Chain A
Amino acid sequence: MASACSALYFLNLKGDVLINRTYRDDVERNLATAFRSHIINTRDGDNVASLTPVRILGPCSFLYMRASDVYILAVTKSNANAMLAFQFMTNMVTLLKSYFGGEFSEQSIKNNFVLIYELLDETLDFGYPQIVDPSILKQYIFQKGFITEAAKAKREAEAQNATLQVTGAVGWRKDNIKYKKNEVFLDIVEQVNMLMSNKGTVLRCDVNGKIVMKVFLSGMPDVKLGLNDKLEDVTFHQCVNLGRFNTEKVVSFVPPDGEFELMKYRCQEGISRPFSVLPIVNELGRTRLEVNVKLKANFSAKLYALNLLVTVPVPENTAHADIHTSQGKAKYDAKKHALVWKVKRYQGMAEHALTASVELIATTRERKPWGRPPIAMAFQVPMFSASGLRVQYLKVWEKSSYKVDKWVRKVCRSGDYNIRI
């Protein structure tokens, strides 16, 4: 790879530097100021160009992303691989989360400066990404400052093994792991993205799915997972034997210990949409708006959706809204400039509707016509697979052939689920 990141910054939302590490001397030190004045504090929020994740200011490219209330910024002067940089930053967040007990925020960064410097030293070398796997790094970078003698001796031994392990044949799993109860948990998590026109035609629809496993197995088990062949774009964890997948369509692997993401996939055909929506929004003159949104759940009546949230945008000069719903609660939220309809539990195959008459306040200047942004939906449907992916079998094979408890779950969540009005 002929490209590298010159410096890595963590900044808060105001643009103050929380922590930074410069890996190469080809960039100046005052980049954080440039980032603050040109990117964070730009007023033109409407300007789409200002929202791009990669900005080029002068000779430097600024690649940045936001995680909770922190901006992570990678600066490079060369023609760097942007996807690599973002993947690295995403992994960095995961890594830090696993160190901070699942939390990643401005405060947690401030509390762990020393640790973060250590991690930054390990994860990037002269700007080139190195190991970012938490399970491996945790073997030699410790969170706690104080440890007992015995633990120290043990850790030292482990740390010595670390090199061996990382470079070994099964780098992701240690030898001699022992559990009293051997268990495997498998979750299929799917995110369904959809864009529908106001006539009900589907303009775009796809499913991003992943299989997350939690493995508590002794020894060196060999696991085989059989899936129906509905998969299109698949990415596997490094433990998966790709040769066998290509020849036999069987996912076979020696799992790492604990929680990991086994595979990711994407699916664009044969998707069953969990909800269909029929919106009618009429502007009556300059000061009134009639809204009627019909909602139908397309999944089996045995299932149900949780925490359904429908956001129906209304013009910015809305003064008052009179709303009726056949289920759940709805109100006008001035902060989002939208009517927000909430249903805690929505039965499969059910049909419900929201009707509202919205009153707008007149303005003195001629406004530009309302942009009619799309309706957005958020929900979660347990035990529903939008892509139709099924687990046919999950087999565990180990020398000592112990008994294994296996658990399989599915959940379907909304991604960008939008309906134009």
Chain B
Amino acid sequence: MAKLVNMRGLQTFIADIRNCANKEQEKVRVDKELGKIRKKFASGNTVTEYDKKKYVWKLLYIYMLGYEVEFGHKQAADLIPATKYAEKQVGYMACAILLNEKDEFLRLIINSIRNDLISRNEAFHCLALGFVGSVGGQEMASLLMLDVMNLLTSGAVRPIVRKKAALCLLRLIRKAPPEAEVMQPEVWAAKLGALLDERDAQPGVLLALVTLLLGIVSRSYEGYEALAPRVVRLLERLVPERREGGAREAAPAVTADYHYYGIPSPWLQVKCLRVLQYFPPPEDPGVLRALTAVLRRIIAGSEPHKNVNKNNAQHAVVFEAIALALALEADAELLTASVALLARFISVREPNIKYLGLENLVRLAEVPAVADTIARHQKSVIGSLRDADVSIRRRALDLLFAMCSRANAPDIVAELLRYLEVADFGMREELVLKTAVLAERFYPDLRWYVDVMLQLIERAGEFASKDIWHSTVQLITSYPELHEYSTRKALEALQRGAVHEALVCCAGYLLGEYGRLVPDVPAHVRFALLQERFVAVSSEAKGLLLTAYMKLLVADPGDTGLRELVAAVFDRYARFMDADLQQRAAEYLALGQRPDVAARNVTAMPPWEKRKSLLLRRMAEREGEDTDEAQARPAWLQTDEDGVTVPGTPSVGATLPTAGEIRPAGDIDAWFRKLCTAPSGVLYEDANLQVGVKMQFQGSQGQLALFLGNKGDTPLERLVCAVPPVPQFAFQVGPVPKRLEPKKQIQVPLMVACVAPFATPPRLQLGYACGAQALNRSLALPVVAAKFCTPPDAAVPREAFFQRWRALPGPPQRLGERVVRAPPALARAPVEAMLASLSLGVQSGLDPDPDNAVAVATFTYTPLGQQPQQVPCMVRIEVEKTQRLQSQVTAASPDATVTAALKHLVCQVLSSI
């Protein structure tokens, strides 16, 4: 960097740019500079290394200002193989910023990076690792993973390199395709364990290693179980016993340098705790006891401090510990302690702590063991509902919803009803829905339920969706003992002056149906109460009210005063603009003149058949969405109401119907692997559908027949079987019917031609709907590189083979990969059989070592409108001699894509035989 300070030209340039008053001036200055740099770079070899470095810095600055500097990519890359650190550094930095992982240009510099990785210079290691860690893509992952792994495990490197190697490896793992097994647990569990166990390992290295482990176990923890006790031991050393003077069993893991406000490396603690969440609870009782002890220490030993930073660090650890305790399904004592701690959090004033406390309590509230403990803090949670911060109010609402039980439901619902009057408008919809669900779930008696719902409808105003009053009236209709009570309540609400549409509808329905049960209020009063609100409501509600009037009239045929009033309304609305209202009014008017017909036809509503709670379904839809505060109108408000439902029996833990999930009846990847070597087999299968495939390939052409069979008893609708276009292939798909009858099989022919070498096989889009279930899946077609390969007719002469082999010295034309498999050991015969099944001609006696298998084939593709192109390819498999578990696969061909595809395929198949 010292050199950088002395770069006058660069400094002047940056100063000039900063002095520019506006964008135009800046552009002019940049264009001038770019012109100069282009001239210098084009002039050939006369540019000194210093100048080159300076210009690349300038280009980088210009690029960061938002201009294109494509011509400089090569110059930046040229600096990477330089021998001086300063130049290499510039080269790596520029490339890291200018290029992204998709850039084809990266291929040209992979070799230089590899050279740095296998060099002896640690500074170069660091630069290369840093670069790969920030830019590395899938291709880099496959080519450089081995070297990075070597750096990580090599005993000779310094901690800083090891740290970077671990993080770099993490990036490469993330970039590797999700199905690939990149770090074989058999090998790596032991290696990582050894690294974690190192006595004098620096916390920095440990942190990197644990982060790497986190990356690995987040893909799959299988095979790494042995590491969990080690992480626990590390945690133990990080969180030592409080007792001073007592004999500690292990030395503290971190020196005081790594203490953050007195907490030993909180980052490491958090990572360890999180890694453990991925593992199942430890089986060894000793380990479990130790882990529980650590968690207890963490949870017990934290209390709020003055210092914000210390608080933050401590809370991060505590929350992870609680999450782990939940994941371990730890004993009630530990969880109770957590609840006590969190309860302390929600009673403090600091909003962040309060928020986090509430959020974690929501998670804890789902554990039945601590429900009572949480219920004890109901008061302070209710207090949080009145907090100044809206996000805290939301969390408090969530928590109240989660902690509600049969015992405290009346209190909580009453509190929520009170709160409804003052709540934010943004929260009301959710609040109303949640209150309704709680009332429905936990009502102690039916009258209470009716009271709550009517109050809710009255107070919520326009925030009460139709579902709420629909479910209320349904319930009332089903329970005759409620009719009179609820009608009175509705009347009272009307007399108090309630005007909201939902209430008017509800009251209109109740008065229409059961108005005769309250004879103390005369019919014309009931009519007047509704009619007052008639003009203000929507036409849908008007229709309902018209029906209610009709019912009033039928129930009380002798009241002539009422008859005149109602007839006047019908008469007016018989000429109304809205067609539905008009028809209704006209019909009722006619019915009103013939009371006998009316009494026969206008009858009471029958009780509703019992169905699943509509509210709960709405709730589930709502939860499914992003629960962000800034969300749009919830989906349940937009969907049209499909009939009304009965709250029926309290449905605690009712299964929420979700869109049907269809699981395949086996391992899709295994089917795919089998099809790579076989000409026919199963491509996909689930409970309803089976897809088989039969293939035949000739040169660059292939004929596939897909057999779609309906296994179930119901027809499959909206059948989709399509191949999305890919530039490397030309497809021709036969017609697919929309519907597949039960127990029927159809055949879909599919022609495929390979137009260019390809890395990944084409995909098949498969979809159908079966009742409520639907499937939409993208499957890999077993059209792999080997299918377009043809073995040679005769044995290949030795010289010709080795001449070809040597002409392809390294990546990307020649690629190698180490494959490790689980026992049993690999014999030679299956390897050869596998190669033959991949249409690769095995050549015996070519390789000096008779144990190695070598195969040769020709890959054929036909570019559109051109002659077929042939790519010779070679594959060699060396099996390690003693255990015969590891093997090195090398593929080579003049085309990088073919090589990569073949190598990938052979490795995949090899690891599964």
Contacts and interface: CB of A to CB of B under 8 A. Distances in A.
Interface in A197-231: none
A317 B43 CA distance: 14
A170 to B, nearest CB: 46
Q: Is the interface of B mostly helix, strand, loop or mixed?
A: helix
A405 to B, nearest CB: 46
Nearest to B27: A335
B635 to A, nearest CB: 29
A14 B71 CA distance: 31
B31 interface: yes
Interface stretch (A94-102, A151-159, A271-279, A357-365): A357-365
A35 to B, nearest CB: 15
Contacts of A363: 70-71, 73
B200 interface: no
Nearest to B105: A364
A332 interface: yes
A319 B70 contact: no
Contacts of B105: 364-365
Given A334-B35, A335-B32, A361-B41, A13 B22 contact: yes
A361 B42 contact: yes
B42 A320 contact: yes
A337 interface: yes
B243 interface: no
B31 A319 contact: no
Determine the interface band of chain A, counting residues with CB < 8 A from chain B: 20 to 34
Given A13-B22, A13-B24, A335-B35, A364 B70 contact: yes
B108 to A, nearest CB: 9
Contacts of A399: none
A285 to B, nearest CB: 14
B676 to A, nearest CB: 34
Interface string B71-92: 1011000000000000000000
B22 A361 contact: no
B262 to A, nearest CB: 47
A363 B42 CA distance: 11
B21 A319 contact: no
A334 B32 contact: yes
Contact of A335 (B21, B28, B38, B74): B28
A14, A364, A365 — most chain B CB neighbours (10 Å): A364
Contacts of A317: 38, 70-71
Given A14-B21, A320-B43, A367-B70, A361 B32 contact: no
Contact of A364 (B32, B38, B41, B74): B74
Interface in B214-270: none
A29 interface: no
Contact of A359 (B35, B42, B71): B42
Contact of A361 (B21, B38, B66): B38
A319 B35 CA distance: 6
Q: Is the interface of A mostly helix, strand, loop or mixed?
A: loop
Interface residues of B, number: 20
Contact of B34 (A332, A334, A359): A334
Interface in B30-48: 31-32, 34-36, 38-39, 41-43
A239 to B, nearest CB: 41
Given A334-B32, A334-B34, A364-B73, A14 B43 contact: no
A361 B31 contact: no
Contact of B31 (A334, A359, A360, A362): A334
A180 interface: no
A360 B35 CA distance: 11
A366 to B, nearest CB: 10
Given A13-B21, A334-B34, A334-B36, A319 B42 contact: yes
A43 interface: yes
A365 B34 contact: no
A319 B42 CA distance: 6
A76 interface: no
A338 B750 CA distance: 55
B28 A318 contact: no
A332 B35 contact: yes
B38 A318 contact: yes
Nearest to B73: A364
B31 to A, nearest CB: 5
Contacts of B39: 319-320
Nearest to A362: B71
Contacts of A336: 31
A108 to B, nearest CB: 16
Contacts of A362: 71, 74
A337 B31 contact: yes
Interface string A65-104: 0000000000000000000000000000000000000000
Interface in A344-388: 359-365, 367
Contacts of A364: 70-71, 73-74, 105
B335 to A, nearest CB: 51
Contact of B71 (A320, A334, A361): A361
Contacts of B21: 13-14
Given A319-B38, A364-B105, A14 B22 contact: yes
A381 to B, nearest CB: 30
Interface of A: 13-14, 43, 317-320, 332-337, 359-365, 367
Given A334-B34, A361-B71, 7 more contacts: A13-B21, A334-B32, A334-B36, A359-B42, A361-B38, A363-B70, A364-B74
10 contacts: A13-B22, A317-B71, A318-B35, A319-B42, A320-B43, A334-B35, A361-B42, A362-B74, A364-B71, A367-B70
Q: Which 8 A-B pairs have the closest CB atoms?
A: A334-B35, A319-B42, A319-B38, A363-B70, A13-B22, A364-B73, A335-B31, A363-B71
